[in-house]
Structure formats: C-alpha cells, structure tokens
Amino acid sequence: MTSPVLPSHGQARPLALAQITLTGGFWGDRQAVNATATLAHCEAWMERLGWLANFDRVADGTTGPDRPGWSFSDSEVYKLLEALAWESARTGDPEPEAAIKRLTARVARAQDPDGYLNTCFGHGDQPPRYSDLEMGHELYNTGHLLQAAVARLRTHGEDDLVRIARRAADHVCRAFGPGGIDGICGHPEIEVGLAEFGRALGDERYVEQARLFLDRRGHGRLRDIPLGRAYFQDDLPIRQADVWRGHAVRALYLAAAAVDVAVERGDDELLRAVERQWERSVARRTYLTGGMGSRHQDEGFGEDWELPPDRAYCETCAGVASIMVSWRLHLATGDVRYTDLIERTLYNVIATSPSADGRAFFYANPLHQRVAGRPADPDEVSPRAEGGARAAWFDVSCCPTNVARTLASLHGYLATSDDDGLRIHQYAPCEIRAELPDGRPASVDVETAYPESGTVRVRIAADADAPWTLTLRVPAWAEGATLTEGGRTRPAEPGLVSVRRAFRAGDEIVLDLPMEPRFTWPDPRIDAVRGCVAVERGPEVLCLESRDLPDPGALDSLVVDPRAVPRAVPGGAVVRGRVPDLAGSAWPYRADPAGAATGEWFDVRLAPYHGWARRGPSSMRLFLPVSADPPPTHVNAEGISAP
C-alpha cells in the first residue's frame, strides 16, 4: 500500500495515495503548480549549482576543495527524489519517472562498495567519514535517501534507488550498530528514515537501529557548542524531555522518528513522551500560524511564551516537520488535536512559503515584517533566510524540496479509515475511492470552495449494502458548525461528527463551517503580543499589509477597535482602525502612557497571511494592537480555542 507514513498499527489508518485524488481547489492548484514548476525548478538549481555534479565527482574521483554546496546538499537531491516518487505515482506522467531515473543513475555511481554514500566526506582530500558527527550531516543525508527510497518502494517497488538505499542503510547499521561507532548525527533524520525504511521493507533491523540512535541521544555524545547541546537535542534523553527545544527542524524530525519507533515497538513510554512534548510545545511555544521556531540565532524554539512576531523564524521546514509529527501522532491515537494543528500549519506555513508560480519560497515565516523586503532576483541564490521576500533558491536551500515533497504527497494527509468507515480531516475538492477491510465501499466525492467557503459537500459515490460510518472533523475554531443530511440540520460540535448508514450513491452530507472572521486573543503570558488581537477566518490567519493602508508608514502605530467585530469582505476581512498621532520624541520612554485616543476611525483591510508579499514588497503585521481608549471588555470566561 502507498502512503507517506505507514505505521503497522494505530487508531487511524492512512488511505492509500491511489485512493484519493485532489480535484482542484486550494490544494489541488498548489499540487499542480508543484508538479509543473517546482520539481523542475529544484532540479535545475541543483544542476546549476553543482550539487548534482558532486555525485559525478565522487564517482569520477575528481572531488576537490572547491566542492559546491553545504555538507547537506546531497539531502536536497534525495528530497527531490522523494517528491518525484510521489508525483510519478500520482499522475503516471513520464517526466517525473524520467527524472527519478536520471537522478538515481548519478547517485548510484557515487556509492562506495561498502554502501557509504556521501559527496562531502571520505573521498580524495575530503575529511574522513564520520569525522564531524556534530555538523557533518552524513547520517542526515542518508536519512533523506531512505525516505526517498520509502516513497519509491511504496509507489513503485524495488528499483535502483531502493537498492542504493538498502546498501546505505546496511552500511549505517554496520557502522553504528552495537559494537560500532557509539555516536549519533548532529541533525536527526536518519532515525525517521530508518524506521520507515524498516516498515516499508518489513525489516526489523532498521527500526532497531533507529531506536538505538534515539536512545543514544541526550547524553552529551556530541561535543558542546556555543548554542548548547540542546541545539541538537543531545541535552536530555527524549524519554525525559517535557518540551521541544533547540533547533526546531532537528527537534521535530527526531520526534517523528520517536513516534514511528514507539508505534512499531509498542513503546508507550516513548509515545507518551512525544505527546507530552507536543502538548507543552503547542501550548507555549507555537505561533498562531502553527509555525514553530522563535529564534533566528539557532533556528530554534525559544523558552515558554517566547513568541516574538517580528523575529519569529517559523522555518518552512519546521512546518513540514511539525506536520510529520502530528500526522504520526494522529495515526497512533486518532486524536483530532493533531489534525487540527495540521490544518493550521498547512494553511498558514506551508501555503505561505511558495510563490504562486512555484519558483520562489519563503524560508522564514515571521508574523510581523517591520521593513518591506527587497524583491529577490529570480536568477540569484539568496544568501539569507530572512523573511520579507520569496527567493528562487537559498544558500541553505532545505525548504523548496521540503515543500515539494509535502505537496506531492498532500492527498495522503486528507483522510483516514478505520474498520467501520472513513474519516475526512482536511477539506478539499477530491474523490475518495476506498474500501473497508470487509469489502464495503467507502467512496465519496468532496465538493467545496473551502477555505473561501465553509460549505463542504460530501457526496456518496457508491452504494453500500451494509452501514458504514462517515466521520468529519469539525475544527476546534468552528463553534457553531452544522451538519445537514437527509434534510435534517444539526449542530456539529468541534471534534468529530459521524453519520452511520448504508449509504447510497448520491447521498449528500453537508458540513457547514462558520466562516465569519473572528478576533483571536493571545494568552497574556505571550509578552511580545500583549495588547494585540489577531483576526482569523476559518483555518486562515489574516494579516495587514502596509500597502493596504492609506499611509504605509502607519503600520507601526495603527490600533484597531476591539469592540467592532471584523466584517467579512471578499478575500478577507475588515476591521476598524485608526492611527494615533504619535509625535516623535528624542527618547522613547515617558513619564506617562502615550495618548492613543486620536485619529479618525477607518476600515482596515486584512487578507490571508499566506498571500502576503505576493503583490510586491510590503511591511506586514498579523497581531494588531488594540485601541486602549475606551477599553476593551475583559472577559473572565476561559473562551479557550484549540489549535
């Protein structure tokens, strides 16, 4: 069976990729752009920069001191291969298949006889193998090779890429197994690669090696660095940690692997540890967008409540990795809090990164851009990961291929099945053609303009002789949703809503989600956005771009009226705001609070955050300061929403 993640058991089963087809809409369009533009774009850049030629040079014995790319550039080739594998299976088009063959052939030539495969270490004058476990990324690269091979195995079966990966994995098990090097890689990834590779091949050895790497970590095997060992999660064993810390992508890839190993081994202690880390990290270290990573310095999580909007890093790759973790936790537990967070992250991190043409990307996704970015030259590599302008390629270019592999397999994250039916988690126009274990057909067509509209129409596509259960996720934000079926409309509380029936083709179940724009208030402990409010509409977080203000410079001082509820307008919402006259002063600290009760009220237009900077450079903010005069009503009720 084909699916991006395939545990041997769990509370929810992924659908096979072949059982679900996106038919346009928000995500179908993006998947198409990924297929027609992004994949070739990535390959072209890696050719141009010599990251592909690095493999040829190893094969030809011509490595030299001028090797282009960072030590992890091989992984970009593997992530592209993974994306191509999903894409080839999705459409059956010849081009992705041809690309897989031509890339695989070049990779194959660079593999050493003992299975070692790396273009930065171990050949010619290069540093010896495994001489820099902290920053050398050798096992990290191999982990991505294994994930690519998993995609290929699940969509195509054994081929050269799989054989390369098997030799590489065997080499890793020999080199780092019991009695081998007692080490770990500074960037987790080999663990999730090994665990999934073991599942895909039914080979327990690989899962065991993943477990070994997991349990070796957290004891200070890596040398200390100025950022501290928390940077690579070597500060604390994963079973003991309560929260994610350090480099966000590292922390999340590791957590994904831990869920895989926990599920395969029935290791509830380990599963519970990751759930606990997810809980506190989501409650205290996650942005409203679902973005993770509060610091530029180490691309890392901050402390609890440290969530600056302007210096938010929210790396696109951390969004991908967060979805990897949440999806695995959902499959293990069936808990909707995980699919809730996936929706949030998809619409507000993943969708934000690529340009409309699929040829430029955000690396960091801040929630507040103080100074408009400069448009990036589409013909140049951006040396920087700052937000503000999507760039064609980066010096450290992990995000484009990560977006590519996620979009190419995105239909795999929309729905799951269980013994009695189908659960739909993400709403997009699609066709689902599934069959339950006992042969009952569970096939539906979903029609929706979500998230522009909140109406999701699920039409049964095949008669069933026996009843089965159709379950729909009602997002945590969707208070007031209704479900209509058989002419009856009933409230649908956030969580899951089910209909069980011997469905007939043509039956329609309609979920109506409330799409009025709404104010969302941060916890008072998030110091950086105290006195601010955000506006959300459905799964989308909205933002204000300076170009939508009469005076773009007013973005720094604008306040909104918290008493005036946001109004929906096409493509976004309108709130009431004004721009107090904040006179310049020589020193920005005063004996009295500054006056705020000036300025004429006017309508301020907000639009989805994922669309920001698409009309050109702009400054932007997502959390809007509220006018303090007259004061907002402060409510004691909890009014808690969930991710």
Residues 67-86 within binding reach of its own copies (CB under 8 A): none
Smallest separation, CB 155 to its own copies (Å) = 35
CB half-sphere exposure, 47, CA atoms < 13 A: 10
Looking at beta carbons only, is 283 or 461 nearer to its own copies? Answer: 283
Residue closer to its own copies, measured from CB, 490 or 634: 634
Applying the rule CB under 8 A, the residues between 545 and 574 that interact with its own copies are 556-557, 559, 562
Contact stretch for its own copies (CB under 8 A) within 174-182, 408-416, 444-452, 525-533: 525-533
In the complex, minimum distance from the CB of residue 206 to its own copies, in angstroms, rounded to a whole number: 35
Q: Report the phi/psi class of residue 126: left, alpha or beta, with left for phi > 0 and alpha for psi in -120 to 50.
A: beta
Tell which positions 203-262 bind its own copies, by CB under 8 A: 224-228
Q: Which residue shows structure tokens 């909140």?
A: 454
* CA–CA distances in Å: residue 142 to residues 7, 72, 147, 191, 322: 21, 10, 9, 10, 21
CA 514-539-631 angle, 5° bins: 75
SS (H, E, C) 550-580: CCHHHHHCCEECCCCCCEEECCEEEEEEECC
- Asked if residue 384 binds its own copies (CB under 8 A), the reply is yes
Count other Cβ atoms within 10 Å, centred on residue 461: 17
Under the binding rule (CB under 8 A), the answer on residue 296 touching its own copies is yes
Strands 421-424 and 468-474: parallel
d(CA 530, CA 406): 34
User: Using CB under 8 A as the criterion, what x/- string covers residues 171-210 for binding its own copies?
Assistant: ----------------------------------------
**Could you give the 3-state DSSP secondary structure of residue 382?**
strand
Q: Which residue in 28, 183, 531, 611 binds its own copies (CB under 8 A)?
A: 531
Q: Of the ranges 32-40, 153-161, 200-208, 296-304, which one interacts with its own copies (CB under 8 A)? A: 296-304
Q: Report if residue 529 touches its own copies, rule: CB under 8 A.
A: yes
- Residues 5 to 34: which contact its own copies by CB under 8 A? none
Q: Does 575 bind its own copies (CB under 8 A)?
A: no
CB of 514 to its own copies, least distance (A): 12
**# binding residues, its own copies (CB under 8 A):** 88
Q: Interacting stretch for its own copies, rule CB under 8 A, among 47-55, 68-76, 431-439, 625-633?
A: 625-633
Tokens at residue 51, please? 């990251």
Q: Which stretch binds its own copies (CB under 8 A): 137-145, 151-159, 419-427, 524-532?
A: 524-532
Q: Contact 568/634 with Cβ under 8 angstroms?
A: no
Q: What is the largest CA-CA distance in the chain?
A: 79
333 binds its own copies (CB under 8 A): no
Given 387, 412, 566, 580, the residue binding its own copies (CB under 8 A): 580
Q: Which of residues 447-506 bind its own copies (CB under 8 A)?
A: 476, 479
Which among 195, 362, 205 is positioned nearest to 289, based on CA atoms? 362
Alpha carbon distance 553, 558 (integer Å): 9
Contact between 283 and its own copies (CB under 8 A)? Answer: yes
Q: Is 596 in the site for its own copies (CB under 8 A)?
A: yes
Q: Which residue has the tokens 């200390």?
A: 224
Binding to its own copies by residue 52, rule CB under 8 A? no
Within 502-521, the residues that bind its own copies by CB under 8 A are 518-521
| Residue 135 binds its own copies (CB under 8 A) | no
Q: Token pair for residue 548?
A: 């939508």
User: Rounded to the nearest whole angstrom, what is the least distance from the CB of residue 472 to its own copies in the complex?
Assistant: 21
Backbone torsions φ then ψ of 146, nearest 5 degrees: -65, -40
